[in-house]
Amino acid sequence: MSTEKPIVDEKDLECVAKFEVRFTGYLDKDGSAVRRLPEIADLPDALIALYRSMVLTRTFDQKAIALQRTGNLGTYASSLGQEAVFAALGAVMRPEDVLVPYYREYGTQLMRGVTMTELFLYWGGDERGMDYAGPRQDFPICVPIATQVPHAAGVALAMKYRGEPRVAVTVFGDGATSKGEFYEAANAAGVWNLPLVLLVNNNQWAISVPRSEQSACQTLAQKAIAAGISGEQVDGNDAIAMFDRLSAAVDKARNGGGPSLVEAITYRLSDHTTADDASRYRRDEEIKTHWDYEPIKRLRQYMIAKQYWDSQQDEALQQTCRREVEEAAQAYLNTAPQKPESMFDYLYETLPETLRSQRDELATTEQQSRA
Amino acid sequence: MPELNLVEAVNAALAFEMAADENVVVLGEDVGVNGGVFRATVGLQERFGEQRVLDTPLAEALIAGLSVGMASQGLRPVAEIQFMGFIYPTVDQMLNHASRLRNRTRGRLTCPMVLRAPYGGGIHAPEHHSESYESMFAHIPGLRVVIPSSPARAYGLLLAAIRDPDPVVFLEPKRIYRLMKQEVEDNGASLPLDTCYTLREGTDVTLVSWGAMLHETQQAADQLEAEGVGAEVIDVACLKPIDTRTILDSVAKTGRCVIVHEAARTSGLGAEIAAQIAEHGLMNLYAPVQRVTGYDTVMPLYRLEGYYLPGVERIVTAVRQVMEFS
């Protein structure tokens, strides 16, 4: 057998598919425009709403960690450094849309009407923290990675089935894109052209595993292409870019254009959760470098340069946020615990007869321990 | 009244409820044009359209996860998993989400979905097609696990499962899909859930079983009757939550109990039933509770499956043993 000459020259073969992944960013790390800006960049009210959400989220985050450190909250997952991603998502979604989150999207949730007290209750070990008074159809925080992505596809399927101009949005981290359920849902969304937006919060770390060890893919956005849907990368620390691209994705879904995936490039400035110690696997210098790119300062500098904002307003906002967070924390700390029997009360619509004796057993034990 | 076999009864129940409630959507692999590999969904796509009978991509976790999302929006998805051997990727969804959604959100979101799957051995199927892991689902709080044993039961229980406001795993004993025909009135009447069904009354021994094994159990009861032993036969039907009252009342009457199931013995649902009897009915017993079950082995390929599945003779032998006590 001769190995000298290939039978077919690759160049002669027809290219049957070709893909590209685009990256969008408008502001540099100091908040200066690097290209012509989209419309929102000249809408001070819209920018201030984003900024307010980001500051509030960070203030909430600090308080949550303080509560955890003082034994007043359970394990908590911070959103530090990723606030622009979630503020932008909250701004582009409509109340009738459905958010299917993982566990860092406080900015989005708060903009949608979830209360900080509810979020504190959740991390403080109380199921009532998932009974959102505001967005009644939003899913609660999802802990098992990527398992919520099919839920969002199912929600989108229901919306499409009923012909409603609504959109389901799900958020997950870089690690989630290694899981089957992410791909299964993205693939199905493509087949059925569902009104679904998949938002990857690529914060570079899945607990201790860096992005480079998560996948050999150049981008996570290209995984969407494998599922037959569009995928793009966005600077996740640039609130203007996130707003611009997420609103395009949500509009497209709402208008029958089908699903898309947005990969937000951001950075987890915090530990994975309060139960994690990132110094075991991550160098301090790396974190320091990324503080230079953090989103709040960047948007503030842009707004100040445009004279949409000043330091006095900033101080007032910080104070308001601190006050709101303190009030929510107090409300949380003052919330009486649920009755132990409540663990039976939402298991089924009606408690099956066979479980009544267990409920009674618990209620009796509780009375005895109080007596 | 039409005579239907079990799989036809499943089909009739699906068709009835799809016609009655436009929120009912059937989804799964090959459920559309093909009508399902066992033909449980045959004709439904033709009648109700592609929007309501969805052929999904080949992804079981997706099928369960989609159903959770659809159910949260008020649809009533009835998802088919082609064989129980392929159901395990759905366990994450059923355990972490479907069974918990109501509880997690204090009733704000609910999950009225049905996950249907043919299960069990005895049809000479390929590897991974014959297992009985119903007790795995029966361990999960918040789920219902329902197993019909006849066409009429399949019709009524499936309607009840679809109408139930909480998630139901509905396991269909495929060995008896076409074993018998029964008159089933297609009138949309459901049967109650969370209750056992007493198929036959007797005073000497209580035989407890479900699904296909009731066929052998009833045959054993016939044989025992000829020997002068009156067996009460209980169809558990709803394995979760389980109606222990009916079983305990029967055992209080007979003083003897033999539990028959196809699943492996250890941690099978028979263990739970035996424990309930030990806790609440020990003093009524004349004899130790016996279990006639599959062995704690890997389900053998089909040449040996007949040795694995409990047969009439094993059931009769166990009853003769408990009858030695008085």
Predicted confidence at residue A272, as pLDDT, reads 95
Residue A169, beta-bridge partner list: A99, A197
Q: Determine how many CB atoms are found less than 10 A away from the CB of residue A134.
A: 14
Between chains, do A347 and B70 touch, taking CB under 8 Å as contact?
no
Predicted confidence at residue A213, as pLDDT, reads 96
Cβ contacts of A283 within 8 Å, gap of 6 or more: none
Q: What is the mean pLDDT of residues B167-191?
A: 97
The three-class DSSP label of residue A124 is coil
Residue A193 DSSP class? T
Among chain A residues, CA nearest to B192: A352
Give the span between the Cα atoms of B85 and B94, in whole angstroms.
15
Second CATH level (architecture) for the domain A20-30+38-338:
3-Layer(aba) Sandwich (3.40)
Predicted confidence at residue A1, as pLDDT, reads 54
Closest-CA distance, B310 to chain A, in angstroms, reads: 29
Task: Look over chain B and give the mean of its residue pLDDT values, rounded to a whole number.
Answer: 97
Nearest to A196 by CA among A241, A262, A142, A144: A262
Quick check: is A290 catalytic?
no
Q: What is the mean pLDDT of residues B136-141?
A: 98
Nearest to A51 by CA among A340, A369, A308: A308
Predicted confidence at residue A279, as pLDDT, reads 94
Give the span between the Cα atoms of A135 and A137, in whole angstroms.
6
Cβ contacts of A89 within 8 Å, gap of 6 or more: A99, A105, A107, A108, A169, A171, A199, A242, A246
Residue-wise pLDDT tens digits, A202-218: 999 999 999 999 999 99
Between chains, do B75 and A158 touch, taking CB under 8 Å as contact?
yes
Catalytic residue among B97, B124, B129, B261: B129
Residue A37 DSSP class? P
Give the span between the Cα atoms of A69 and A63, in whole angstroms.
10
Considering CB atoms only, which of B25, B54, B62 is closest to A181? B62
The residue among A314 and B326 whose pLDDT is bigger is A314
Q: A175, A215 in Cβ contact below 8 A? A: no
Give the span between the Cα atoms of A42 and B58, in whole angstroms.
47
The three-class DSSP label of residue B288 is coil
Q: A331, B149 in Cβ contact below 8 A? A: no
Residue A283 DSSP class? -
Convert A255-292 to b/e letters by CB count within 10 Å (16 or more is b): eeebbbbbbbbbbbbbbbbbebebeeebeeeebeebee
Quick check: is A94 catalytic?
no
Residue B269 touches chain A, beta carbons under 8 Å:
no
Set out the domains of chain B in order of their start, with CATH numbers.
Answer: 3-183 (3.40.50.970), 197-323 (3.40.50.920)
Q: What is the mean pLDDT of residues A318-335?
A: 98
Predicted confidence at residue A2, as pLDDT, reads 55
Within 7-46 of B, beta carbons closer than 8 Å to A belong to: 25
C-alpha distance from residue B88 to each of A148, A150, B81, B153, B261 (Å): 17, 16, 10, 26, 20
Distance of CA B108 to the CA centre of its chain: 29
Predicted confidence at residue A367, as pLDDT, reads 78
Closest-CA distance, A121 to chain B, in angstroms, reads: 12
Q: What is the mean pLDDT of residues B128-137?
A: 96
Give the span between the Cα atoms of B119 and B4, in whole angstroms.
20
Catalytic residue among A58, A112, A166, A272: A272
DSSP state letters, B197-210: EEEE--SSEEEEE-
Considering CB atoms only, which of B62, B97, B194 is closest to A188? B62
Q: A145, A172 in Cβ contact below 8 A? A: yes
pLDDT band at A9 (very low <50, low <70, confident <90, very high): confident
Residue A159 with chain B: CB contacts under 8 Å: 73
Closest-CA distance, B219 to chain A, in angstroms, reads: 30
pLDDT over 90 (residue B180) = yes
Domain parsing of chain A, residue ranges:
20-30+38-338, 339-371
Contacts 24+ apart (CB under 8 A), B313-317: B315/B207, B315/B216, B315/B217, B315/B220, B315/B258, B315/B260, B316/B220, B316/B223, B316/B224
Predicted confidence at residue A271, as pLDDT, reads 94
Among chain B residues, CA nearest to A100: B69
Task: Look over chain A and give the mean of its residue pLDDT values, rounded to a whole number.
Answer: 96
Predicted confidence at residue A368, as pLDDT, reads 79
Convert B283-317 to b/e letters by CB count within 10 Å (16 or more is b): ebbebebbbbbbeeeebbebeebeebbbebebbbe
Considering CB atoms only, which of B73, B104, B241 is closest to A158? B73
Q: What is the mean pLDDT of residues B123-151?
A: 96
Residue B189 DSSP class? -
pLDDT band at A365 (very low <50, low <70, confident <90, very high): confident
Interface residue of B24, B26, B62, B81 to substitute, partner A, most A CBs within 10 Å:
B62
pLDDT band at A79 (very low <50, low <70, confident <90, very high): very high
Predicted confidence at residue A369, as pLDDT, reads 78
Considering CB atoms only, which of B73, B75, B142 is closest to A347? B142
Give the span between the Cα atoms of A60 and A313, in whole angstroms.
19
Give the span between the Cα atoms of B143 and B163, in whole angstroms.
14
**In this structure, are strands B168-173 and B114-119 parallel, antiparallel, or unpaired?**
parallel
Q: What is the mean pLDDT of residues A265-277?
A: 96
Residue B173, beta-bridge partner list: B119
Residue-wise pLDDT tens digits, A105-142: 999 999 999 999 999 999 999 999 999 999 999 999 99
Q: A233, A263 in Cβ contact below 8 A? A: yes
Q: A146, A103 in Cβ contact below 8 A? A: no
**pTM across the whole model:** 0.97
Give the span between the Cα atoms of A55 and A40, in whole angstroms.
19
pLDDT over 90 (residue A4) = no
